[in-house]
Amino acid sequence: MRFLLATLLISFLTAAPVAAMDFILGGTDHKTDDANWIQASGPIDEETVADFQTFLAEGPDWLPKRIRFNSPGGSLAQGIQLGAELRRLGFATEDGNHEPHPDWPNMSSWDFTRRTPGICASACAYAFMGGVERRVDHGSRIGVHQFYSAARSDGGSDSQPILVQQGVEQELVSQLLDYTLRMGVDGRVLVHAGLCVGRVFGSKCGLN
């Protein structure tokens, strides 16, 4: 599965990425699974899974097993690998952003944060599926759309759904279906993805 996704260079693209996904601690210093989390923000690129593993290895002794996504998407292969890694590690997932917490005005601006709405689109939605528990906050959005090629030979981004040989396309969809079902997600999410062309959250693209 990983080989096929990497070989096809499939991405779920939104706007051109300006920075890779980064990981920081969010919430407060209360060591409960709901009071704090790992905030994952930015596009998913080819180094995201490795960056996440490095963050875990270099982090403090106690890290919450909860990750909160605010991402427009990016690499489909990395999104799926990240979701599988989160499931293996027993992480819960959330869809949303965060901001400095107003109840601690004397702290450095980002020492303590609170949840705010966010977005988890395309490849991010597949990473989100890996959570052993999944949470979409009120006001947050999550959605999927059709496959896109990672880039044209001239360096530009394709704006049309990727065209591959029929057998390969069917194999890719089968592997995506296998992944979604293993994550305990209704396979009809792929119907939503197939119907949605473009980057606008409409009745077909949004899942919530």
- Do the Cβ atoms of 157 and 12 come closer than 8 Å? no
Is 207 among the domain residues? no
- Do the Cβ atoms of 204 and 196 come closer than 8 Å? yes
Is 201 among the domain residues? no
Is 124 among the domain residues? yes
* Residues 6+ away with beta carbon under 8 Å from 21: 40, 41, 42, 43, 44, 45, 48, 51, 71, 74
CATH of the domain at 88: 3.90.226
Distances (CA, A) of 192 to 156, 189, 197: 26, 5, 10
Instruction: State both tokens at 127.
Output: 């990473």
- Do the Cβ atoms of 13 and 157 come closer than 8 Å? yes
Number of folded domains that form the chain: 1
CB burial readout 171-181, b (16+ within 10 A) else e: ebeeebeebbe
Q: What is the pTM of this model?
A: 0.75
Instruction: State both tokens at 35.
Output: 């009071």
Is 168 among the domain residues? yes
Report how many helices (DSSP H) and strands (DSSP E) the chain contains, helices first: 6, 12
Is 35 among the domain residues? yes
* pLDDT tens for each residue of the chain, 208 residues long: 443 443 333 434 333 445 899 999 988 766 666 778 999 999 999 999 999 999 999 987 778 899 999 999 888 889 999 999 999 999 999 999 998 876 656 655 557 888 999 999 888 999 999 999 999 989 999 877 655 544 443 444 333 343 344 556 677 778 888 999 999 998 787 766 665 655 444 444 555 4
* Residues 6+ away with beta carbon under 8 Å from 31: 62
The length of the chain is 208
- Determine the Cα–Cα distance for residues 87 and 136; give it in Å rounded to an integer: 17
Is 205 among the domain residues? no
What is the extent of the structural domain holding 153? 2-195
Is 189 among the domain residues? yes
